[in-house]
Amino acid sequence: MDGLFLEWQWRLPKLLGKTITSLYFGGGTPSQLDPTHLASLLDLIRQTHSLDCEITLELNPDDATSSLIDAYLKMGINRLSVGVQSFDNAQLKTLGRLHTSQTAQKAIHLAHSRGFKNISIDLMYDLPHQTLTTWQHTLNVTKTLPISHLSLYNLTFEEPSTFHRKQKSLTPHLPSEEESYKMHTMAIDQIPLERYEISAFGLPSIHNIGYWTARPFLGFGPSAFSYWEGKRFRNILNLPKYTQALQSKSSPVDFIEELSPKAKTRELLAIRLRLLNGAPLPPMEPDIEKLITKNWLKIEDARLKLTEQGLLFYDSVASELIEL
C-alpha cells in the first residue's frame, strides 16, 4: 500500500487534466486486501479525479461475504470479475483452485442480491481430463447465473506457470482437437450473452475495450504494465525493490519499449480485430489481401473484420499482420 500511494503521487502529474475512464483492481488477489486499504486508495484518487466510471475488482469466490460485498459497493466499486474457471469440482482441483462450484455460485448470487448488477466471470476449456459432458455441465450452470459478462479462455502452457512445469504429464490428458473445437462451438452457441470480442460476451467492459483500441493506461504496482504516450513499459517485478525505488523518488520502471510507427499501426490493427465490429479499413497491402483471399478477413460496412474462420485462427492472423 505504501508503494501504491507513492506511485500514485509520482505519476499524478501525467494524469492531471485527464479523465479516468475505468479503474481495474486485478490479480494477484485484490479481494484478499482489507477493504479499508482499497477505500483509502480510492479516496486518494478522488482528491484529484472524478471516479464516475467503471470500477472493477477481481473477486476470489472464497472471499465473498455480505460485509465484504457491501464494503465494495459503499466505496464505489461497481463491477466484479469472479474467477470461476469451471463449475466442475474435479476440474477446479486440477486447476489448483481452492473454491468449489457451489462456493462460486453462492458468491455470484450473493453479489447480485447485495446490489451488484455488473458481474463478470471467467471460464476455461481445453483442460486436462475435461470431457464434453463436464463442459456441458459448466455451461448449464452458467445459464442459471445473474451475470452480465463472461470471458472464455482455453488452457495454454505459459512459462513459468505450474501448468508449464507439468506440461509433459498433463498433455496426454488434454481433449483432442476435435473435442476442443466442439467445446468452443458449444460455448459460442450456448453462452446466454452476446459475443462482442473473440473471447468476451455480454455487456462490453470499458476497461477491456481500452486495451483493444490502444487507449492509454497506467498500471500501478510491481510488474504492472502501462501504455502511455506511445510507449509500453513495466514496473519492477520485485516488491521490495519496487517500493524502495519509489521511496528514493526513483522510477519504478524496469522495461520500456516503443515500436516503430508501422509496427505500432500493425499491432493496433491486429488487436482491434479481436472485436467483432472490426477495425477501420486500413490501406490495402498484399498481406491483408492475402488474408482476405484466405477467407480469414473480410470487408464489411467499410471495416476490416475477422470471418467466422478467422475468429478460429486469430493467432495466425495476428502473427501474419504483426510480423510482415
Q: What are the extents of the domains in the chain?
A: 22-207, 261-323
pLDDT reported for residue 295:
97
Phi, psi of 273 (to 5 degrees): -65, -15
CA 149 from chain center: how many Å? 12
pLDDT reported for residue 164:
53
321 close to 290: Cβ distance less than 8 angstroms: no
pLDDT reported for residue 228:
96
Percent of the chain with pLDDT over 70: 96
Angle ∠(122,123,128) on CA atoms, nearest 5:
140
Q: Is the pLDDT of residue 304 over 60?
A: yes
pLDDT reported for residue 166:
66
pLDDT reported for residue 244:
98
Neighbours of 133 (CB within 10 A): 8
Alpha helices in 206-295 (DSSP H): 206-212, 239-247, 261-272, 286-293
70 close to 222: Cβ distance less than 8 angstroms: no
Please state whether 84 falls in left (phi above 0), alpha (psi between -120 and 50) or beta: alpha
Quote the CA–CA distance of 30 and 261 in Å, as a whole number: 36
What is the 8-class DSSP label of residue 174? S
Residues forming beta bridges with residue 119, ordered by sequence position:
80
215 close to 165: Cβ distance less than 8 angstroms: no
Neighbours of 77 (CB within 10 A): 25
Q: Is the pLDDT of residue 324 over 80?
A: no
Tell me the pTM. Answer: 0.93
Q: Are strands 149-154 and 200-202 parallel, antiparallel or unpaired?
A: antiparallel
143 close to 190: Cβ distance less than 8 angstroms: yes
pLDDT reported for residue 27:
80
Residues 232-265: pLDDT tens digits? 999 999 999 999 999 999 999 999 999 999 999 9
pLDDT reported for residue 28:
79
Residues 6+ apart with CB under 8 A from 46: none
Which CATH number does 22-207 carry?
Answer: 3.30.750.200
Residues 27-47: pLDDT tens digits? 879 999 999 999 999 999 999
Confidence of residue 172 (pLDDT cuts 50, 70, 90): confident
Three cell numbers, residue 299: 470487408
Percent of the chain with pLDDT over 90: 89
Per-residue CA distances from 36 to 31, 39, 41, 54, 148 (Å):
11, 5, 9, 20, 27
Residues 6+ apart with CB under 8 A from 323: none
For the beta sheet containing 279-280, the strands, ordered from the edge strand earlier in sequence to the opposite edge, are 279-280, 303-306, 297-300
Per-residue CA distances from 273 to 20, 178, 210, 217, 304 (Å):
25, 25, 13, 20, 8
